[in-house]
Structure 1
Amino acid sequence: MHVPDGFINAPVSVAAGVVAAGAVAVSLRGARRELDERTAPLAGLVAAFIFAVQMLNFPVAAGTSGHLLGGALAAILVGPYTGVLCIAVVLLMQGILFADGGLTALGVNITVMGVVTVVVAYALFRGLVLVLPRTRRSAAVASFVAALVSVPAAAGAFTLVYAIGGTTDVPIPQVLTAMIGVHALIGIGEAVITMLTVGAVIAVRPDLVHGARGLSAPLKLRVGGELVDAAPARESAPAGGPAPRKLWLGGLVTALLLAGFVSFYASASPDGLEKVAADKGIDKNVEEHAAADSPLADYGIKGVEAPRLSGGLAGVIGVGGTLAVGSGAFWAVRRRRASHAPTGARV
C-alpha cells in the first residue's frame, strides 16, 4: 500500500507530513518507557524483519497481490510507540534507497501504514486480551484479529486522505469499496503472518513480547481466610528458553533468508493499491520517483544482470541497512531514557 508521488496533492501531503512528524515525536517519547536493555535490540530486528517480509508479495485474487504492512506485528512485539517508529524506519529506508513509496508521500505512508495500523491493531488487541482467557494462545488469537482488522482500516484511511486531496476526479465510494474489498483479503495474509510470528516468539520468550506481559493469572495467597493476589513479580524467561542474543540471531538469519532468497518467488502481480489505482484511474497523475536512479531502485542492484542475485543482494542490503538504522535509533532512545532516569533508579 505504498502511496507514490502524485496521488495526493501538495497541501494534503504537507498536512499528512505534519501529522506523521507529530506521531513520530510522540512515539519517541513513548518509546522511552517501552524500551529496555532486552527489548531495544529486538525493536531493531523487528524493523528489519518487517522490511524483509514486505518483499514477499502473496497472491490474493486474480492479478492482485498483497504484502505485510506490519503495524500490528510491531505494536504487539515491541509496543505501540516503538511500533510506529519501526514502520517509519522501514518506510524511510524503502523510499530513499529502493524508490518504493513516494518521498512527498512519506507523511501519508507513515500515517496510513504506520499510525493507523498500530493504533487500530493495538487497541483491538488489548481489548481482546482483557476479555479472553489470560493465556498465550489467547494472545496469538488476539494478534490474528487485530492484524486482520488493521489492514482494511488502513485502506479506509487512505481513501479518506484521497477524498480530501486526491489529484484525480474519481468516484470515492467506488474507490472505498474496491480498497476495503481487496485489503480485507490482504488482511487475512497479514493476520496469519502476525499470528505465526507472535506465537513463535511467545512460545520461546514471552517476556520479550510487549503485548504478552501480564497475561498469566496472578498468584493467589490465602490471608486471613481470604484469597488475595500476590504481589506481581518480574516475568522471567522460561526454563530452557533461548537467550535474547540467540533469539536475535535466529530472527536476523530468518530475515536475511526471506529477503535474500524467498523474495525471488514473491508474486509479481500489482499490490492492492496499485490494482485499485489502475482500475479506477487514481494513477493518472503519478510522478516518477525522485530516487528512481538509485542503485537499489525497484529492489535490484543496477549492473547485476542475474535477477535472482540482483534481488537477493538488494534484499540483504535492505535488511542490513534497516537493522542498522533502526537499532541506532532505538539505542539512542534507550540511552535518552537512561539519562533521564533518577539517580540510582533501575532502567
Structure 2
Amino acid sequence: MHVPDGFIDVPVSVAAGVVAAGAVAVSLRGARRELDERTAPLAGLVAAFIFAVQMLNFPVAAGTSGHLLGGALAAILVGPYTGVLCVSVVLLMQGILFADGGLTALGVNITVMAVVTTVVSYTLFRGLVKVLPRTRRSVTVSTFVAALVSVPAAALAFTGIYAVGGTTDVPIGKVLTAMVGVHLLIGIGEAVITALTVGAVIAVRPDLVHGARGLTAPLKLRVGGELVDAAPAAVPVAAAVAGTGAGTGAGTGTGAGTPVAARSPRRLWATGLVTALVLAGFVSFYASASPDGLEKVAADHGIDRKTEEHASADSPLADYGVEDISDARLSGGLAGVIGVGATVAVGSGVFWAVRRRRNGSAVSPSTGSAVGGNA
C-alpha cells in the first residue's frame, strides 16, 4: 500500500506530513516507557523483520497481490509507540534506498501504514485480551483479529485522504469499495503472518512480547515454608537483567533457577535476524509479481494517471535490485540483504538512543540517584 508521488496533492501531502511528524514525536516520548534493556535491541529486529516480510507479496485474487503492513505485529511485540517508530523506519528506508513509496508522500504512508494500523490494531487487541481468558491462545486469537482489521482500516484511511487531496477525478465510492474489498483479503494474509509470528515468540519468550505481559508465571518466594507470589515491584526488570536484586537473596527462587527476566534475548535476536535475511535474500525471489492492492485499484480506476517519477529512481537499489547485477535472483537477494542490514542498523540506533534518553531521565542530575527512589 505504498503511496507514490503524485497520487495526493501538495497541500494534503504537507498536512499528512505534519500529522506523521507529530505522531512520530509522540511515539518517541512514549517509546521511552516501553523500551528497556531487553526489548530495545528487539525493536530494531522487528523493523528489519517487517522490511523482509514486506518483500514477500502473496496472491490474493486474480492479478492482485498483498504484503504485510506490519503495524499490528510491531505494536503487539514491542508496544504501540515503538511500533509506530518501527514501521516508520521501514518506510523511510524503503523510500530512500529502494524508491518504494514516494518521498513527498512519506507523510501519507506513515500516517496510513504506521499510525492507523498501529492505533487500530493495538486498541482492538487490548480490548479483546481484557475480555478473553488470560492465556497465550487468547493473545494469539486477539492478534489475528487485530491484524485482520488493521488492513482495511488503513485502506479506509487512504480513501479518506484521497477524497480530500486526490489528484485525479475518480468517483470516491468506487475507490472505497475497491480498496476496502481487496484489502479485506490482504488482511487475512496479514492476520496469519502476524499471529504465527507472535505465537512463535510467545512460545519461547513470552516475557519479551509487550502484548503478552502478565501471562508469565510470577516469581515465587518461600515464606514460612510455603511458596507465595512475589509482589511485582519486588523484582525490578533492570535488577533482574543485571543479575542483582531478586534471585540473589536467600530464600528466593522460581523452582527453575534464574527468573525469566534475567534470560538474555540474544538467541531470539540472532534467530530473528537470520530468518529476516533468509526471507529477504532468498524467499523473496518467489514472491508474487502481481501488483499489490493499491497498485491494482489505482490502475483499474485511473488514480495513477498523475503518478510522478520517484526522486530516488536512480538509486543503485531502486526496485529492490542491485544496479549492474544482471542475474535477477542475485540482484534481488543482495538488495534484500542490504535492506535488512540497513534497517536493523538504523532501527537499532534509533531505539538505542530512545532507551538512553529513558535511562538519562530516570536519574537525578544532581545526585545520580533514581528519581523518586529513597534507597
Distance between the aligned counterparts of 2:76 and 2:12, measured in 1? 30
Q: Deviations over 1:178-197 (max 9, x none)?
A: 00000000000000000000
SS at match of 2:21: helix
Structure 1 consecutive aligned stretches of length 4 or more whose deviation exceeds 2 Å: 215-220, 228-243, 342-347
One-letter amino acid of the structure 1 residue matched with residue 109 of structure 2: N
Counterpart of 1:112?
112
SS at match of 1:56: coil
The alpha-carbon deviation at position 229 of structure 1 amounts to 8.7
Q: 1:217 to 1:126 in 2, by over 3 A?
A: farther
The alignment covers a number of residue pairs equal to 341
Query: Which of 307, 314, 321 lines up with 2:342 in the alignment?
Result: 321
Q: Is the 8 A contact 2:75 2:122 kept in 1?
A: yes
The alpha-carbon deviation at position 231 of structure 1 amounts to 3.0
Counterpart of 1:344?
369
Q: Is the 8 A contact 1:134 1:216 kept in 2?
A: no
Q: Deviations over 1:116-143 (max 9, x none)?
A: 0000000000000000000111101100
Distance between the aligned counterparts of 1:295 and 1:186, measured in 2? 30
Q: Is the 8 A contact 2:31 2:81 kept in 1?
A: yes
The alpha-carbon deviation at position 302 of structure 1 amounts to 0.8
Query: Which of 275, 280, 294 lines up with 1:259 in the alignment?
Result: 280
Q: Say whether 1:196 aligns with 2:192.
A: no
SS at match of 2:59: strand
Q: Say whether 1:71 aligns with 2:71.
A: yes
Q: Is the 8 A contact 2:207 2:216 kept in 1?
A: no
Distance between the aligned counterparts of 1:212 and 1:104, measured in 2? 37
SS at match of 2:339: helix
Q: 1:17 to 1:306 in 2, by over 3 A?
A: same
* CA-based RMSD: 2.2
Distance between the aligned counterparts of 1:29 and 1:149, measured in 2? 27
Q: Is the 8 A contact 1:5 1:105 kept in 2?
A: yes
One-letter amino acid of the structure 1 residue matched with residue 191 of structure 2: A
Q: Is the 8 A contact 2:52 2:279 kept in 1?
A: yes
Counterpart of 1:175?
175
One-letter amino acid of the structure 1 residue matched with residue 47 of structure 2: A
Indicate the percent of aligned positions where both proteins have the same amino acid. 83
The alpha-carbon deviation at position 214 of structure 1 amounts to 1.3
Q: Is the 8 A contact 1:135 1:216 kept in 2?
A: no
Counterpart of 1:96?
96
Counterpart of 1:224?
none
The alpha-carbon deviation at position 44 of structure 1 amounts to 0.2
Counterpart of 2:7?
7
Q: Say whether 1:276 aligns with 2:301.
A: no
One-letter amino acid of the structure 1 residue matched with residue 369 of structure 2: G
Distance between the aligned counterparts of 1:106 and 1:205, measured in 2? 34
Stretch of structure 1 that moved more, 53-62 or 210-219: 210-219
Distance between the aligned counterparts of 1:182 and 1:202, measured in 2? 30
One-letter amino acid of the structure 2 residue matched with residue 46 of structure 1: V
1:229-268 equivalences under 5 Å are 231-232=231-232, 243-268=264-289
Distance between the aligned counterparts of 2:69 and 2:369, measured in 1? 40
Query: Which of 290, 302, 321 lines up with 2:323 in the alignment?
Result: 302
Counterpart of 1:149?
149
SS at match of 1:25: helix
Q: 1:302 to 1:188 in 2, by over 3 A?
A: same
One-letter amino acid of the structure 2 residue matched with residue 16 of structure 1: A
One-letter amino acid of the structure 2 residue matched with residue 132 of structure 1: L
Q: Is the 8 A contact 1:134 1:217 kept in 2?
A: no
SS at match of 1:102: coil
Q: 1:82 to 1:172 in 2, by over 3 A?
A: same
One-letter amino acid of the structure 1 residue matched with residue 193 of structure 2: I
Unaligned residue ranges in structure 1 (runs of 5+): 221-227
Query: Which of 285, 289, 310 lines up with 1:289 in the alignment?
Result: 310
One-letter amino acid of the structure 1 residue matched with residue 61 of structure 2: A
Counterpart of 1:184?
184
SS at match of 1:167: coil
One-letter amino acid of the structure 1 residue matched with residue 370 of structure 2: A
Q: Is the 8 A contact 2:21 2:107 kept in 1?
A: yes
SS at match of 1:321: helix
Q: Is the 8 A contact 2:38 2:264 kept in 1?
A: no
Compute the TM-score of the two structures, normalised by the length of structure 1.
0.94
Distance between the aligned counterparts of 1:123 and 1:244, measured in 2? 27
Q: Is the 8 A contact 2:206 2:216 kept in 1?
A: no
One-letter amino acid of the structure 2 residue matched with residue 287 of structure 1: E
Stretch of structure 1 that moved more, 235-244 or 167-176: 235-244
Q: Deviations over 1:139-172 (max 9, x none)?
A: 0110000000000000000000000000000000
Q: Is the 8 A contact 1:23 1:115 kept in 2?
A: yes
Counterpart of 1:51?
51
Q: Is the 8 A contact 1:28 1:82 kept in 2?
A: yes
Distance between the aligned counterparts of 2:370 and 2:143, measured in 1? 33
Q: Is the 8 A contact 1:45 1:252 kept in 2?
A: yes
